[in-house]
Structure 1
Amino acid sequence: MASGKTSPVVGKKETIVSLKKQINLVQSVGIIVGIIIGSGIFVSPVGILANVKSVGMSCIMWGICGVFSGLCALCYAELGASIPLSGGEYIYIKRAFGDFPAFLCLWINFIIIAPVGIAASSLIFATYVLKPAFRDCEPPGPALRLIAALVVSSLIIINCINVKWSAKISVIITISKLGALILIIIIGLVWIGQGESDNFKDAFTDSDYSAGSIAIAFYSGFWAFGGWSYLNFLTDELVEPHKNLPRAIVISISIVTIVYLIANVAYFAVLTPREMLISSAVAVTFTDQTYPSLSWITPILIAISVVGSINGNSLSMSRLFMTGAENNHLPSFISMINIKYLTPVPSLLVVMILTVLMQSFEEIFYLIELMGFGFSTVLTCVFAGQVYLRYKEPNLYRPIKLPIALPIILMILSIVILALTIYQKPQESGVGVLFIASGAPLYLIFVYWENKPAIIREWIVTCATIIQKTLYVCPSEETKNKV
């Protein structure tokens, strides 16, 4: 959302609009929980189990992922409260290390994290929607991609028209998805109460304790917790960000970790490891074996849950790209705001286009591992920057100040996870490295090279003008560098 004076005649007078502070604590928690509890809890149990091989190690991995995410969130809370600007890790890396590292962080989010994460969630949404019609086989690929593209496009349109609708949808969907998980938890606890606990006997039999397997399993669990950092992208729109940002992060992570751990216990109370591994829709298989009469409602509740994750991701990432464009790291039109709806329409449409392209990768776990590699790279840089800022800006006002050992430890752990991933999954890691490395020449050509020939500058201006008139957008008040 935005506020300010506008002019309907594009090109006659600079139009000044700005994002408005309108997201309160409850909506903040709704957005974060809405992003985190999406497709992950309904898919990641399979990804973790496939790597660590046992019920006991699976539960431990969920706990590890929750603790790690919580500690990371605390570090982000310190950074977000100290540097209350939209843009999240992009802004923090820029503040610590300068222009080029910040551009690479933005590029990783632009080309990997945002489109891959939303694409994976939308494909999972399509899988659950189609599963009732294809109970004995996998849904066809073209149908999956079509439905995935439709849901992403619909949510992007809603975000383009009114961000308040999006925030309200996040709260409503969060209630729905918690309802779905509570249903699973209650059923699981009933089964445990009836003595169905065979899967917990010898829970660590056949466990794979190798570092590589644990690292890949970690990505699946960490992806299920993904989203705890996204509220930092919306800081400019938060009411009292110094107070509400850390509160929202701590409350959200606590809720999600508890719910996830109990939900996994419920899964294993009903399904054997083999049944989970051969299922493409774990929650549907779960209800089929417990209360078949509820089979029809489970895919609906899970689909709603995934919609919330897609909605929150789109909302948050569009603000990150907008901030990057304001700092001249992306085309200028991405930073503009629609004059009629006062929303970042160009940035949202870019998210939609990139997501639809990534939906061509139908292997969901491949997407998860690719996204995990990119995000671990960004985390390493963020924690290194947090440590460096303590030295570079010792007098920076920090409403929250954590022990310096915490970001140092998290930085080391992120480096170890990256190294193990490269060793265990060289192909996926190679693709990730190529994506990241492709940002270097783009930076040199489009950012560092300022004195471009007149013909190129004219072409860029012409393209931006066409887009501006087509989308009816104008520059925001934050077109000057914020950092």
Structure 2
Amino acid sequence: MGPVAFFLPIFVVGSCWGSLNGVTFAFSRIFFAAARNGHFPEIFGMINVENSCPMPSVFLLCLTALITLSLNDITLLLNWFAFTQSLVTSTVIAGFLKMRIWEMLKWTPPKTPPIRFNISLPIIFFIICLYIDIVPIYNDWKEILPAIGIISAGVPAYFLFIYWKNKPSWLMWPWVKFTHGVQVVLLCVSDESKGQ
């Protein structure tokens, strides 16, 4: 590489740092918006009073990053993340295709999206995502099983902690105390603009 060999690792570190910064910024706001709209625990819909940052969401991201860093096998970690990301993407594209097909069959009133393009593009993208989902299961389903288990654990957790509204007070008391403790430590309050 010649004279660039010294600078290349510095550029790689800068690129990784920028990517990490962007992911932390984006996903903490996604958690914040989901909690504000009632799709995630209320604690993650709180912001710091000094800098308007969703601190509980940032700490959740840091905790999950530390847990994933404790895994020694980078290939396994990459397979898990590729599988879960592709599964989420294929689910979103499937919902989009359902909406477009129902609109084409006149089952729902037509909506005018800001950008209209040929339906073959999302179909091709959906097939690619399905391929990325199915091949790891076919090759080594035992390797992907923990990722499927973690994703599947979200369903009962959602019904237990989010969907079920009239929980008994003895079940809610520890969570309320934990939320108040986090509010005191991180100087967080609930956002006033709920659901906007």
Give TM-score scaled by structure 1 length.
0.38
Q: Which residue of 1 aligns with 2:38?
A: 328
Kindly provide the amino acid, as one letter, of the partner of residue 124 in structure 2: I
Q: Which residue of 2 aligns with 1:357?
A: 67
Deviation readout 1:14-54 (Å, 9 max, x if unpaired)? xxxxxxxxxxxxxxxxxxxxxxxxxxxxxxxxxxxxxxxxx
Question: Do structure 1's residue 375 and structure 2's residue 92 form an aligned pair?
Answer: no
Do the aligned residues in 1 keep the contact of 2:45 with 2:191 (CA within 8 Å)? Answer: yes
Do the aligned residues in 2 keep the contact of 1:336 with 1:475 (CA within 8 Å)? Answer: yes
Do the aligned residues in 2 keep the contact of 1:322 with 1:334 (CA within 8 Å)? Answer: yes
Question: Do structure 1's residue 470 and structure 2's residue 180 form an aligned pair?
Answer: no
Q: Which residue of 1 aligns with 2:172?
A: 457
How far apart in 2 are the matches of 1:404 and 1:295?
A: 45
CA-CA distance at 1:407 after TM superposition:
1.8
Q: Which has the larger radius of gyration?
A: 1
Do the aligned residues in 2 keep the contact of 1:337 with 1:343 (CA within 8 Å)? Answer: yes
Q: Which residue of 2 aligns with 1:176?
A: none
Kindly provide the amino acid, as one letter, of the partner of residue 441 in structure 1: P
More off after superposition, 380-389 vs 402-411 = 402-411
Q: Which residue of 1 aligns with 2:150?
A: 435
Do the aligned residues in 2 keep the contact of 1:318 with 1:351 (CA within 8 Å)? Answer: yes
Question: Do structure 1's residue 307 and structure 2's residue 17 form an aligned pair?
Answer: yes
Do the aligned residues in 1 keep the contact of 2:36 with 2:45 (CA within 8 Å)? Answer: yes
Do the aligned residues in 1 keep the contact of 2:28 with 2:61 (CA within 8 Å)? Answer: yes
Return structure 1 stretches of 4+ with deviation > 4 angstroms.
none
Structure 2 unaligned regions, length at least 5: none
Matches within 5 A, 1:117-132: none
Structure 1 vs Structure 2: percent identity of aligned residues?
A: 30
CA-CA distance at 1:348 after TM superposition:
0.9
CA-CA distance at 1:333 after TM superposition:
1.6
Q: Which residue of 2 aligns with 1:154?
A: none
How far apart in 2 are the matches of 1:396 and 1:479?
A: 26
Deviation readout 1:344-369 (Å, 9 max, x if unpaired)? 11111111111011101132222111
Q: Which residue of 1 aligns with 2:94?
A: 384
How far apart in 1 are the matches of 2:143 and 2:193?
A: 37
CA-CA distance at 1:294 after TM superposition:
4.2
Question: Do structure 1's residue 416 and structure 2's residue 131 form an aligned pair?
Answer: yes
Deviation readout 1:400-419 (Å, 9 max, x if unpaired)? 01222322232233223321
Kindly provide the amino acid, as one letter, of the partner of residue 410 in structure 1: F
How far apart in 1 are the matches of 2:132 and 2:7?
A: 38
Considering only aligned residues, what root-mean-square deviation do their CA atoms show, in Å? 1.9
Structure 2 CA distance for partners of 1:410 and 1:325, relative to 1, 3 Å: same
CA-CA distance at 1:371 after TM superposition:
0.4
Deviation readout 1:376-419 (Å, 9 max, x if unpaired)? 11111111111122326543331101222322232233223321
Structure 1 unaligned regions, length at least 5: 1-286
Kindly provide the amino acid, as one letter, of the partner of residue 331 in structure 1: P
How far apart in 2 are the matches of 1:405 and 1:416?
A: 16
Do the aligned residues in 2 keep the contact of 1:335 with 1:479 (CA within 8 Å)? Answer: no
Aligned residues: 191
How far apart in 2 are the matches of 1:440 and 1:403?
A: 34
1:405 to 81, 102, 120: 120
CA-CA distance at 1:373 after TM superposition:
0.4
